Chain A
């Protein structure tokens, strides 16, 4: 049940695009199309942003997109806005249980 690997921090200016990576193994990210992404603002509960690798729940802006290649999943945010500044976590189901990444702090400059 090892955590998935994410960069500790990323940054970008308003209007720019950023990508956050999430690296696992063939036993989690690479083996299942059950990768999800969560946004968490300070003191708040996480919010689902992407599920099943690339699907957006109702109400999530289409500036948020997800993809996967091999054992690495990615979250891309285009047209960065100030309110996107938050922590982002990836998650994947494995054969036995879900596992999270360590989280990435996104700073909007």
Chain B
């Protein structure tokens, strides 16, 4: 079964850091671009970052540039999002998604809450 499972969310204070993980199974992870997409409570979807199959290209939405870092470990079939200098407006459910010019596979999401 093709599956993505996120983990690592939680409550963090403003200015803090958090590392999200996404475990992939059921497909050849190393063959696909991957993305992180977030959804603030009661709001719409927002693409956050994506990464090429071999990690050589990475792109970010302007609001997270310099604070978030996307990475992957193809040997472990895993995608990561290192989030630093977190702000209240980063509070959201974070989804990892397989990126084929459309997001065809999604994880269940992990909640990140930034609050003091």
Contact = CB atoms under 8 A, between A and B. Distances in A.
Contact of B106 (A34, A36, A45, A93): A45
Contacts of B108: 45
For B59, B101, B102, the residue with the greatest tally of chain A CB atoms inside 10 Å of its CB is B102
Interface string A22-64: 0000000000001010101000011110011000010000000
Question: In the complex, which range does the number of interface residues on chain A fall in?
Answer: 20 to 34
B27 to A, nearest CB: 14
Question: Interface of chain A, helix or strand or loop or mixed?
Answer: strand
B11 interface: no
Nearest to B4: A45
B50 A97 contact: yes
Contact of A1 (B37, B61, B109): B61
Interface in B44-95: 44-47, 50, 59, 61-62, 95
Contact of A97 (B44, B61, B100, B109): B61
B107 interface: yes
B44 to A, nearest CB: 4
B35 A98 contact: yes
B32 interface: no
A96 B59 contact: yes
Interface string B34-45: 010100000011
For A36, A97, A98, A103, the residue with the greatest tally of chain B CB atoms inside 10 Å of its CB is A98
B61 A103 contact: no
Interface of B: 35, 37, 44-47, 50, 59, 61-62, 95, 99-104, 106-109
Given A46-B45, A51-B104, 16 more contacts: A1-B62, A36-B102, A40-B45, A46-B95, A47-B106, A52-B102, A57-B104, A89-B45, A91-B45, A91-B47, A91-B102, A96-B59, A98-B99, A98-B103, A100-B37, A101-B44
